Amino acid sequence: MRKIFFFAAALAVFSCGEDRTVGDDAEACARMFGESYFNFRLHRALDLCTPESERWVRLLASNLTQDDLDLYNAQAGPARVQVEGLTFTSDTTAEALLSVADFVQLGAIGRPASVVSEGQVSLRLVRRQGEWLVRMEGPLRSERQSRD
């Protein structure tokens, strides 16, 4: 009887640890993608998104101008990203809410970029072959913004 109790206790501990690791992995993916994307380290962002999402990262890269990069480089520091919430919609999908501060938002065609002091971005994550990746359906845009 005692062996069964220890086996059940060990099973409970290990299964809880795996769930926490899965959540930690998804949160880390969302945070690293956000930091890479909003700090224009786009090669790193490509490593953290699904193959079908690459076109949206490449679109950002193709629209960056020297003026945009100069504005980014004039900042006191890099854009700051924090995961505010993570909701699992299934074993292989999740939604992350990021809070992003001091990032450069590209302007519309013919309009200059601007620095956004604070905004929120939603990311969709999928787990493929044990790895969490960001799945984009379009360019990322801040849902809530406060401009400098």
Query: What is the tens place of the pLDDT at every residue in 124-138?
Result: 999 999 999 999 999
CA distances, 3 to each of 6, 12, 13 (Å): 5, 14, 15
Question: How confident is the model at residue 94, as a pLDDT?
Answer: 97
Q: Is 118 helix (H, G, I), strand (E, B) or coil?
A: strand
Question: How confident is the model at residue 144, as a pLDDT?
Answer: 56
Give the span between the Cα atoms of 82 and 30, in whole angstroms. 9
Model pTM? 0.80
Q: What percent of the chain has pLDDT over 90?
A: 67
Q: Which domains does the chain have, with CATH numbers?
A: 2-147 (3.10.450.50)
